[in-house]
A and B are shown apart, each in its own frame.
Chain A
Amino acid sequence: MEKYYKKWFKVLIIPALVLFVVVILVPFIMGLTYSFTAWRGSYFKGSEHWWGALVGITNYLKVFRSEKFLSALAYTLKFTVVAVVMKNLVSLALALMVKNVDKGKGLFRTIYFFPNLLGGLAMGFVWSLIFQNIFSTVLFGGDSPIQIPFLCDMLQDPNKAVFAMAIMATWQSAGYMLLIYLNGLNNISEDLYEAAAIDGATAWQRFRYITLPMLMPSFTIVFFLTLSSSFKVLDENLALTNGNFGTRMLSLQILLSTRESTPANYGMAQAQAVIFFVIIAVISIAQVMITKRKEIEA
């Protein structure tokens, strides 16, 4: 059989390989290379070929001196922290609650999951009116008995907008994260809780010393998913604030970068794209390694 598979492996792997090389590998290498050139999108400045337009690390130096890039980077980090914490807390809390009811489990799961399927951009338009109108005039401002200025006009202030975008992102993805946590919770043996109850452990102790450590594998998955999706967020940014009022994040910055220079400086945009990749790769790898270690310790 080994020989049989080997024979076919070489032939039938070709479609995947071709797709991978054309769509990911070649553009990736092109991107790395072009980030060191004076690339203008459809041509190279002063040359027919990229090797004639090499400019060393000029693009990177420009990027690190660019006010817009640095502010987008800082703002993305800020959003990522808020969104990851919010998504995890909400989905874990919901998972713990859903786990403890006997009736309606399936219904709750289904309802919470549904927003996940809707388009981020499309629902972002809906949420922008919710923040502008419902939050600001009906619920937490205007003549409402509950006055919470922080939840009013959230989209016009960078500090509030972080939370507005995180609220929408949480609304959209918490139901999916909940499924992962719920799976983890269902895998914890009831015996552990019974033994702990006999030993007189309080509810908090049971949560801290049984649930949390046993949930570590689920944490790894959820952290990995929320971290990278938050860092790469585009839809919420585009639909809710369009990057105005100092709320532009990296994905949007890379997209807009080429439109804000004449002639369009694709070399510099690509340098930002490469930095973007490096940050995401480092965060993701570090995060998986750390949580894996925690898993073993626990």
Chain B
Amino acid sequence: MKESMSTKNKISRIILYVLLGLAAIYTLFPIYFLFANSFKSQKEIVASPMNLPANWDFQYLKNAAEQINLLPSVTNTLIITVVSVALIVLVSSFTAWLMVRHKSKGSQVLFLVFTAAMLIPFQSVMYPLVSLMESLGLKNTVGLILMYGGFGLSMTIFLYHGFIKSVPVSLEEAAVIDGANIFQVFFKVVFPMVKPITVTAIITNAMWIWNDYLLPFLIIGNNRNKTLTLSLYYAKSLSGQYGNPWELIFPAVLICAIPILVVFVFLQRYIIEGMAAGAVKG
């Protein structure tokens, strides 16, 4: 009786691992597919899409890098992402902190308004936003960063707000009594304590901004200062009038994915934990 139970257990465990393994293969397949087809000619991609390349030809990657203007595109995307994320994290954490600490009607209403704004989809405001930015002379990279700042605010303030509520105020009082100014209190006392949410905020916002297509499309368009995803989009749509140029698309997509892959490999622990923490708090 006991033995049959343990065999049954063993079998169900094996089934479990097989199912999870299959799901993992399925999840990774598109990435393998992307990788394998980035070194093949159009003909080879269409003829044998599943196989590894017959010979590893880097000319397609090189060509794609030229087509999407790799260096300027990456630099642009990097600048936009880093500055926007820094802006979002700084402003949101500061604002959320003061909102939690200063419990007036005004602060509560403000928090409610910020949170409610999460319901506004980007598409609902994009046309007037672009027109407003144009009239302010901000239809450029600076404007783009400010817009990401505005759109990232609601969600990030919400995250920090939930977390800071559980941070005791006594340390801050002690720091003030010791003569620290408000910035010292924030950066030396508060900011280190909210680190888990900062990680979450950085990841969610960075991924969104790095991969975003719509906002740069509306603001930058087919201009010289294109972001990576936008370059990819134009490279595809301009050369794809007669069928899809897979030998260009695959290496180009791979180039866009490599920075993310590298970051993920090094920071996967923080990323997974940060996302899980953010989900619970959110």
Contacts and interface: CB of A to CB of B under 8 A. Distances in A.
Contacts of B253: 122-123, 125-126
Contacts of B176: 1, 4
A: contact size bracket: 35 or more
A121 B211 contact: yes
B95 A179 contact: no
B168 interface: no
Contacts of A179: 272, 275-276, 279
A109 B27 CA distance: 11
Interface stretch (A193-201, A206-214, A277-285): A277-285
B85 to A, nearest CB: 14
B16 to A, nearest CB: 6
Contact of A180 (B23, B26, B280): B280
Nearest to B236: A125
Contacts of A117: 207, 260, 264, 271
A119 B68 CA distance: 16
**Best-surrounded residue of A16, A22, A133 (most CB of chain B within 10 A):** A16
A197 to B, nearest CB: 13
A5 interface: yes
Contacts of B117: 20, 24-25
A36 interface: no
Given A126-B250, A138-B50, A179-B279, A22 B24 contact: no
Contacts of B19: 97
A94 interface: yes
Given A19-B149, A114-B264, A118-B257, A27 B125 contact: yes
A113 B272 contact: yes
Contacts of A281: 119-120
A23 B113 CA distance: 14
B124 A273 contact: yes
Interface SS, B side: helix
Interface string B238-282: 000000101001100100110010001000100110011001101
B: contact size bracket: 35 or more
B9 to A, nearest CB: 11
B13 interface: yes
Contacts of A273: 123-127
A34 B182 CA distance: 42
Given A12-B95, A28-B120, A23 B110 contact: no
Interface in A31-58: 31, 34, 41-42
Nearest to A106: B272
Contact of B123 (A24, A25, A255): A255
B48 to A, nearest CB: 10
Interface string B122-137: 1111111101100010
A127 interface: yes
B23 A12 contact: no
B255 to A, nearest CB: 9
20 contacts: A1-B101, A1-B172, A6-B102, A13-B98, A19-B91, A19-B149, A23-B149, A27-B128, A31-B127, A31-B128, A97-B20, A104-B20, A116-B207, A120-B211, A125-B232, A128-B244, A138-B49, A179-B276, A270-B127, A273-B124
Interface of A: 1-2, 4-6, 8-9, 12-13, 15-17, 19-20, 22-28, 30-31, 34, 41-42, 94, 97-98, 100-101, 104, 106, 108-123, 125-130, 133-134, 138, 171, 175-176, 179-180, 182-183, 221, 228, 232, 234-235, 238, 250-251, 254-255, 258, 266, 269-270, 273-274, 276-277, 280-281, 284-285
